Amino acid sequence: MKYKRSERMIDMTYYLLEHPHTLIPLTLFSERYEAAKSSISEDLTIIKGTFKEQHIGLIETVPGATGGVRYIPQVSEKDAEEFILWLCEKLSDSERLLPGGYVFLSDLLGSPEVLKPLGKIIASQFIDQKVDAVMTVATKGIPIAQTVANYLNVPFVIVRKDSKITEGATVSVNYVSGSSQRVEKMELSRRSLKKGARVVIVDDFMKGGGTLNGMRSLIEEFEAELVGATVFAESVFHGKRAVHNYRSLLLIEDVSVADKTIQVKPGNFLQKEPE
């Protein structure tokens, strides 16, 4: 089917957005639209400029016979900061306060309005690094891991605290909960990760860092490599955390049941080096 140029560029843009981090040969587009490679290259130059100007992401061209074009999702620091400040405002709502001083997060982590930009922001940290899988622990981290994995175009794996017969053989580790100091267990299907895999950890909430440290131990058991760890929110922890070199989008500074207030500020995500 012969496409008009406007139709071709719309379809090409959609194809790139649906295949992030995928090297696409120019011959695929040339044959798809029955157009010369020179015309495809001109179209990609326009798309590349628009993506950069609108902070949609990078269009990377790889020369050579085995080359092509690749879309890499990216978020500007300004857009990331605005989104994080918006989340701070959302999370500071006193209506989120639960008995015992807990903060309700489930609606945010189930909303496409939050998950889509959240996944893109987290994934954009790794534009220059090879990632093979995204890891999280059941259950609330799953939607975050899924959207991050989508933008990185890699699988996501779910660590569980109890055995599932459908997982087959598993690898398990014991870890110390950072907040309660109790010894707990987590496990992952032996088929989930390959030796040498480069893994990104994501989670919804962190106190003492015990869960993140447990996932790091699991990665080591698989002889894989931890690329980075990011949490949606962390709380102030008066003690020695079990992990370092993580990033958090939000920091819950204080929760007062008596005053019905939640104080939230940006985490260390936008810092040059995470604490």
Per-residue pLDDT of the chain (275 residues; tens, 9 = 90+): 788 999 999 999 999 999 999 999 999 999 999 999 999 999 999 999 999 999 999 999 998 878 899 999 999 999 999 999 999 999 999 999 999 889 999 999 999 999 999 999 999 999 989 999 999 999 899 999 999 999 999 999 999 988 778 889 999 999 987 666 789 999 999 999 999 999 999 999 999 999 999 999 999 999 999 999 999 999 998 878 888 889 999 999 999 998 999 999 999 998 876 55
In a domain, 271, yes or no: no
**148 and 49 part of one domain:** no
Could you give the count of Cα atoms lying within 13 Å of 146 in the half-sphere of its Cβ? Answer: 11
* Residues in contact with 257: Cβ distance below 8 Å, sequence separation at least 6, in sequence order: 97, 99, 100, 101
Of the three residues 28, 50, 73, the one that is the final residue of a domain is: 73
**63 and 123 part of one domain:** no
* Residues in contact with 30: Cβ distance below 8 Å, sequence separation at least 6, in sequence order: 36, 37, 40
pLDDT attached to residue 273: 63
* Cβ neighbourhood burial of 213 (10 Å; 0-12, 13-18, 19+): buried
**110 and 226 part of one domain:** yes
Provide the CATH number for the domain around residue 18.
Answer: 1.10.10.10
Of the three residues 73, 91, 122, the one that is the final residue of a domain is: 73
Residue 57 phi, psi dihedral angles, 5° rounding: 155, -170
In a domain, 275, yes or no: no
Nearest one of 128, 145, 144 to 227, comparing CA atoms: 128
In which domain, by residue range, is 208 found? 77-266
**63 and 81 part of one domain:** no
Q: Which helix (H) or strand (E) holds 251?
A: strand 247-256
* Cβ neighbourhood burial of 31 (10 Å; 0-12, 13-18, 19+): exposed
CA dist 274 and 210 (Å) reads 18
In a domain, 274, yes or no: no
Domain count for the chain, please give it: 2
Looking at residue 102, its amino acid is: Y
Nearest one of 36, 26, 47 to 2, comparing CA atoms: 36
In a domain, 15, yes or no: yes
Supply the DSSP symbol for 2. P
**159 and 115 part of one domain:** yes
Stated pTM of the model: 0.92
